[in-house]
Amino acid sequence: MTQKPTRLDISDEMIAERRGGTGKMPDDMPKWMAKSITSIDKFSKLTGNIVCWILIPLILAMTYEVFARKLFLAPTIWAYDISRFLYGALFMLGAGYALSKGVHIRADFLYRNFKVKNQGLIDFVLYILFYFPGLIVFLYMTTGFLQESIVRGERGMDTTWMPYMWPIKSCLWFGIVFLLIQGVSELFKSYYAMIKGKWPGSE
């Protein structure tokens, strides 16, 4: 006698998706808040769609390096720098989009059992107390690092190619800005969940 397969439990994965839903905003949400959430999420989606193309030059650079090294015994001096720069740019510039989709690492083993109002309250408080202050300080420090890198013409000293460092540092700066922008949307969603007991766009 065969046992009927049970439904796959993906509650852990779907918690963030419910938080980051980009469906129609509820009718009882203030129009300015609904418009802000929708506009910011669309912006993050656009940046995510653009940033994902970084994968193509990253793959091409690494493929070229492998063939040059293994087949022609002619390793490049630039592949290592290009790969880490492109990967870093992909990671940082796509962080805002990742936040909008709720795919950042979360400790949901307790959080997932809370009522939606409590989830919203926790997220709202954490965004106010830690997320925005931390990113603002990070942005301030990164601005100084970026300005100094441009003025000094800073170069990477750990490879013979010695690339300029300001391009990757500028990606870090823009990545923080994208996170701050998306954070506003997440803050509004958390506030709505805290008040109404449901995540906007999850229905």
Per-residue pLDDT band at 8 (split at 50, 70, 90): very low
Please write the tens of the pLDDT for every residue from 93-115: 999 999 999 887 776 778 888 99
In the chain, domain spans: 30-196
Instruction: Find the DSSP H helices in 6-78.
Output: 11-19, 31-51, 55-72
| pLDDT surpassing 90 at residue 10 | no
Mean pLDDT of 36-56: 96
* Model pLDDT, residue 182: 97
Mean pLDDT of 4-10: 51
Crossing angle of helices 116-126 and 166-196, in 10° steps, is: 140
Q: Is the pTM of this model over 0.75?
A: yes
| Burial of residue 113 (number of CB atoms within 10 Å: 0-12, 13-18, 19+) | exposed
* Model pLDDT, residue 118: 94
Mean pLDDT of 37-52: 96
| Burial of residue 203 (number of CB atoms within 10 Å: 0-12, 13-18, 19+) | exposed
Q: What percent of the chain has pLDDT over 90?
A: 69
Mean pLDDT of 39-67: 95
- Average pLDDT over the chain reads 88
* Model pLDDT, residue 16: 54
| pLDDT surpassing 80 at residue 15 | no
| pLDDT surpassing 80 at residue 202 | no
Q: Which of 14-28, 68-82, 187-201 has the lowest mean pLDDT?
A: 14-28
Per-residue pLDDT band at 4 (split at 50, 70, 90): low
